[in-house]
Amino acid sequence: MQNNSQFLIIIALIAYSAFRRVMRALDFQKYKQGALLFKVGLYCFVALILIAAAALNPMSYLFYLIGAITGGVLVFIAVKNMIFEKRADGLYYRTHVWVEIAVLVLFFARLIYRFYIMSQVMGVDASDSDAMNKRLQYTRDPFTSFVFFLLCTYYIGYYFYVYKRSAEALKTIPEFVEVKNT
């Protein structure tokens, strides 16, 4: 019973953070320079760790490259459809809703897939090493490599662009007027 309650707590935390992320994707986010730079640094750190860890499995570099290219395409689309809005309490921004939804769907598909694989691994008897090795082989899947690097590339590129463009937006956008990026 204790294991089930811990599992439910984890699912509840993931569901809550997913709900918050979806709500942020659909609404304007307030520009906070410090938080934005922290996120860029954090995603760069994660990307460097992923690149270093791929030395153990060099085939991962191919999926990182595909993820980076796909993330770059999503950044391009997001930037072209980005909206800045100046309000009385500061600058707000929002990306293209469909791009953000696509990124979220990829993330949640990967998360659900990993939960499925881990539930398969947890159900195997530890004394059956052949079955355990077969199941553990699926935990090093290329889809995870692709999605992680896509997310890192997308958020690094997108947040860096928001940071770069914010100073110009503050100067040129009159208050309470919506301006689409061109």
Cα–Cα dist 33/118, whole Å? 38
Give the chain's residues under pLDDT 50. 1, 138-139
Query: Does the CA dihedral 54-55-57-60 come out positive or negative?
Result: positive
pLDDT value at position 66? 93
Q: Which domain holds residue 91?
A: 2-180
Chain CA centroid to CA 7, Å = 23
pLDDT value at position 133? 60
142's tokens: 């290329």
DSSP 176: T
**Tens digits of residue pLDDT in 95-129:** 888 888 888 888 788 878 777 777 766 665 556 56
Cα–Cα dist 175/165, whole Å? 17
Residue closest to 172 by CA, chosen among 96, 80, 84: 84
How many domains, the chain? 1
pTM of structure: 0.74
